[in-house]
Structure 1
Amino acid sequence: MQSPVIGTIRTSPPFRCDLVGSFLRPPELLEARRLHRERKLTDEQLYELETAEIAKLVERQKELGLAVVTDGEFRRSWWHLDFFFGIEGTEKIDLNAAAGRTDAKQRAESFRISGKIAFGSHPMLRHFESLQALAGDAVAKMTLPSPALFHFVQRYHGGAAYDSDEELFADIVTVYRDAIRAFYAAGCRYLQFDDTTWGTLCSLLHRTQLRSQGNDPDKLAADYVRLINESIAERPSDMTIALHVCRGNFHSTWFASGGYEPVAEELFGGCRVDAFFLEYDNERAGGFEPLRFIKEQFVVLGLVTTKHGGLESQEVLQSRIAEASAFVPIDQLCLSTQCGFASTEEGNLLTEDEQWDKIRLVADTAAEVWAD
C-alpha cells in the first residue's frame, strides 16, 4: 500500500481527499445480481460474491493512497431504499405495478410505513462489519440515507400507523439513534447521511410545487434540521457524522436545480453535523456565497462531476477552492467528487477507468492544495 496522500494532513475525517461513497458495479457483480433475481443464486452465494468484489474495491482505494474506504454500496440496489426496506415497520412498493405499467423499462420502487418503525436487526450492520474487516488501517466509511429523507419520501406513500407527524418524528429519531449506537458498536467512526431533500428545497420549481400542495418549504427545512439534530444528539464524541446534499444522481440524470441560498441559513447555520458534502460541479449548484453561514463545520467541496467522463482542470479546481475560501477558512475545506458514481446499481454513464481517473484527480489536487 502507498502512503496516504492526505494522511499526514488530516488524520481524522473528513479528509482533504474524501469519497462520497458509491462506485460503478463491476460486470461480474451485475451478472450475479441478475442471477440472484432469477433465483439461480442464493442470498448467501450473492453475499459471498459481493464480498469478493468489495475486497477488490477496497484494495484499489488503498492502492491509491486513500485514508478512507467504502464498500461502493455494492450490496445495494438503491442508495437509500435498501436501508429503508431494512427498517422494521416498512414495506417495499413497486411503483410500476401500482400504476399499472406492465411494459416499463425503468425500475421504479419506493417504500411505505406499514407499522410502528424500529431499527431492529438491520442487515446493513453485517455489511459494515464486513467492510471494517477489509479496511485495515484505512477508515471505513458507512453511508446511510438521512432521517429527513425517510420522512420526506414516506409523505408520498404514507400509512395509517401514525396519528401525527410528531409521533412519527419521535420514532424516526429513535430509529436513527439506535442505528448510530449499533454502527458505533460495530466499529464505525465515520457515518455519512445522504439526502436529496435539501436539493429539492433549494429548487424554485420544487418549492413552488410544495406550496401548491399546502406545504411550506421553509417550515420543512426547519423541521428537518431539528429531525437531524435530534437524531444525532447522542452520538459519541469520536464519531464523525457528515451530511451529503444531492440533487439527484440516477444513471447520470438529476431532478433538482438551484443554489443553496433558500436553505443556507437554516441548514448551514443550524444543522449540527460535523461536515457537509456539497455539490459544486456545475452552475446548477449556484455560487459559494451561501457558505457564509457555515460555522465550525467542515465543507467538502464536490467540484469533480461523476455525471460523465472527462477530467476537470486541476488549475480550475484549485481556483474554485480559493474562491470558496473567501467564505470558509481553507482549513475547514476538503475535496471530493460531487456525488458517488453509482447511486443505483445501474451506475452513471462513464467507464471504470474514468471513475478512477477522477478519484486520482481529487487526490492529486488535495495533495497540492493542502501540502505540508
Structure 2
Amino acid sequence: MVQHSNLEETSSQLQRKNPPFRADQVGSLLRPERIKKARIDKAAGIITTEQLRQIENEEITRSVEKQKEVGLEAVTDGEFRRAWWHFDFLENLDGVEGYQAESGIQFHNVTTKPRGIKVTGKIDFTNHPMLEDYRFLHGIAGVHTAKMTIPSPNMLFFRGKVEDGVYSSEEEYQHDLAQAYKKAIQAFYDAGCRYLQLDDTSWAAFFSEKGHEQIQAFGKTPDELRKLFADTVNESIADRPEDLTVTMHICRGNFQSTWTAEGGYDAAAETIFDGLNVDGLFLEFDDERSGGFEPLRYVKRPDLQIVLGLVTSKFGELENPDDIKRRIEKAAKYVDLSQLSLSPQCGFASTEEGNLLTEEQQWEKLKHVVHIANDVWK
C-alpha cells in the first residue's frame, strides 16, 4: 500500500527528539593510528594499561567532538577500546572465555585473524569492564545522546561453543543467557544509558542457501531457529525501563570493506519486522545484496522505527543525494515516512582493522547522512 507519493507531502514531520534519530549511525568508527600504535606498544610492554587507556580516552574525546561537529545527535565511543564488535563484550560475561581459534571467520575473499569464544561455566553478568567504558562516554556526551552498542544475545549462541557438561538443556542455557542480558541492560541503564543497540549477524543465516547450511549445522529447522532467536531477544529486553530505547542492527558482515552473507530479508521478514519487541531496526540496504524494500510490508507497529542503511560504510565515494532520497521514497511505500530514518548500512570498523576508506572519508559519509536527512525530514 502506498502511503506517501512523494517526500514533500510529509516534510512537516520534524526531527525526532528521541532515538533513533533521523540521521543516525551504527556505532563503530575507524581506529585512529595513535590507538593502533598504542595497542601494539601495550602488547609489547612498552606502555602500561593505564597509559593505553589514557590514549583511548583522548582519542574517544576527539572523536565524540567530531561526531557532534558533523551534526549527529547520537554519539558513540567508536568501539575504540575493542578489537572485535562482539567477542570483547561476550568473553567478559561470566562463564564465557575467549580463545585462539584454529582459523578466522571467512568473509568474501578475506579471512579475519583467528578468535573464538566458548562457554565454560554458567552464564551471568556481574562486573563487566564495558560499564566503565560507557560511563566515560556518558561523561563527555554533554547534551548529545550517548549510544552504547553490544552484540545481541544471539551472537553467543551463533559464535560460542558450549563445553560438555555445562548445561543440561538448551532451555537452561537460553534462560541464563537472557537473564545475563537483563542484568546487563539494567546495569547500563543505571550507568546513565538511554540508547542501547544490539548488533546481530545471526539473522543473515536465513537470507541465503549458504546460510541454510549453517542452520542445519545447528540441528534446527529455519522455523525453530527464528523462534529461538526472537524469543531470546524478547526475553532479554522484556523488563527494560520505559525510557530506554533498544534498537537492533542486522548485518551481513563487515570486515575490511567485505561481507559474509547476502540475500534479502524475505525469509525472516515476518519475525524481524513483526516478532521482535525492539524500538527500532538498523537495516542494511546499501547494495543489491540486501534485496528490496518489499519485506518492510511486515512492519505492523506504528511505533517501530526503521533506520535505512542506504549510505555505505565500505567505500569512501559519496552517494548521489537524489538517489538516496528516491530510495527513501520507495521505502515509504511500505512504512510511513515518520517511521523512517537514515544511517550508514554498518559501522566503519566492526573490527580494529577497519574498512578501506580514510578517516576524512568517514566523516564526510556521516556528514552526508546528516545533510540528506535534514532535507528529507524538514
TM-score bucket of the superposed structures, by smaller chain = over 0.9
RMSD: 1.7
1:259 equivalent in alignment to 2:264: yes
Aligned length in residues? 359
1:12 equivalent in alignment to 2:12: no
- Aligned partner of 1:57 in structure 2 is 63
How far apart, CA to CA, are the structure 2 residues paired with 1:166 and 1:348?
38
- Aligned partner of 2:37 in structure 1 is 31
Query: Given that residues 71 and 367 in structure 2 are in contact (C-alpha distance below 8 angstroms), is that contact kept between their aligned partners in structure 1?
Result: no
Instruction: Please give the residue correspondences for 1:216-365 in structure 2 after superposition, counting only pairs within 5 Å.
Output: 216-296=221-301, 297-365=304-372
Report SS of the residue matched to 1:237.
coil
Query: Given that residues 204 and 258 in structure 1 are in contact (C-alpha distance below 8 angstroms), is that contact kept between their aligned partners in structure 2?
Result: no
Distance 1:158 1:302, change over 3 A: farther
**Structure 2 counterpart of 1:125, which letter?**
L
Counterpart of 1:74 (choices 59, 73, 80) is 80
- Aligned partner of 1:130 in structure 2 is 136
Query: Given that residues 103 and 113 in structure 2 are in contact (C-alpha distance below 8 angstroms), is that contact kept between their aligned partners in structure 1?
Result: no
Query: Given that residues 205 and 214 in structure 2 are in contact (C-alpha distance below 8 angstroms), is that contact kept between their aligned partners in structure 1?
Result: no
**Structure 2 counterpart of 1:303, which letter?**
L
Query: Given that residues 113 and 159 in structure 1 are in contact (C-alpha distance below 8 angstroms), is that contact kept between their aligned partners in structure 2?
Result: no
- How far did 1:213 drift? 5.8
Cα displacement string for residues 229-250 of structure 1 (whole angstroms, at most 9, x for unaligned residues): 0000000000000000000001
Give me the TM-score of the superposition, normalised by structure 1.
0.93
- Aligned partner of 1:107 in structure 2 is 113
Please list every run of at least 4 consecutive aligned residues from structure 1 whose deviation after the TM superposition is greater than 6 angstroms.
Answer: none
Distance 1:97 1:243, change over 3 A: closer
Query: Given that residues 250 and 284 in structure 2 are in contact (C-alpha distance below 8 angstroms), is that contact kept between their aligned partners in structure 1?
Result: yes
- How far did 1:37 drift? 1.3
How far apart, CA to CA, are the structure 1 residues paired with 2:213 and 2:356?
31
**Structure 1 counterpart of 2:156, which letter?**
F
Gaps of 5+ in 2: 1-12, 105-109
Choose 145-154 or 281-290, whichever is displaced more: 145-154
- How far did 1:270 drift? 0.7
- How far did 1:211 drift? 2.6
How far apart, CA to CA, are the structure 1 residues paired with 2:208 and 2:114?
23
Query: Given that residues 303 and 335 in structure 1 are in contact (C-alpha distance below 8 angstroms), is that contact kept between their aligned partners in structure 2?
Result: yes
- Aligned partner of 2:9 in structure 1 is none
Give me the TM-score of the superposition, normalised by structure 2.
0.92
Choose 145-154 or 309-318, whichever is displaced more: 145-154
Query: Given that residues 114 and 160 in structure 1 are in contact (C-alpha distance below 8 angstroms), is that contact kept between their aligned partners in structure 2?
Result: no
Cα displacement string for residues 177-217 of structure 1 (whole angstroms, at most 9, x for unaligned residues): 00010000000000000000011222221113423663212
- Aligned partner of 1:149 in structure 2 is 155
Distance 1:159 1:124, change over 3 A: farther
Query: Given that residues 251 and 284 in structure 2 are in contact (C-alpha distance below 8 angstroms), is that contact kept between their aligned partners in structure 1?
Result: yes
Q: RCO greater where, 1 or 2, for CA within 8 Å and sep 6 or more?
A: 2
**Structure 1 counterpart of 2:333, which letter?**
A
Instruction: Please give the residue correspondences for 1:179-198 in structure 2 after superposition, counting only pairs within 5 Å.
Output: 179-198=184-203
Report SS of the residue matched to 2:117.
strand
How far apart, CA to CA, are the structure 2 residues paired with 1:306 and 1:239?
27
- How far did 1:82 drift? 0.2
Cα displacement string for residues 303-342 of structure 1 (whole angstroms, at most 9, x for unaligned residues): 0111111011100000000000000000000000000000
**Structure 1 counterpart of 2:371, which letter?**
D
Gaps of 5+ in 1: 1-6, 99-103
Report SS of the residue matched to 2:270.
helix
Query: Given that residues 96 and 107 in structure 1 are in contact (C-alpha distance below 8 angstroms), is that contact kept between their aligned partners in structure 2?
Result: no
- How far did 1:66 drift? 1.4
Q: Percent identity?
A: 48
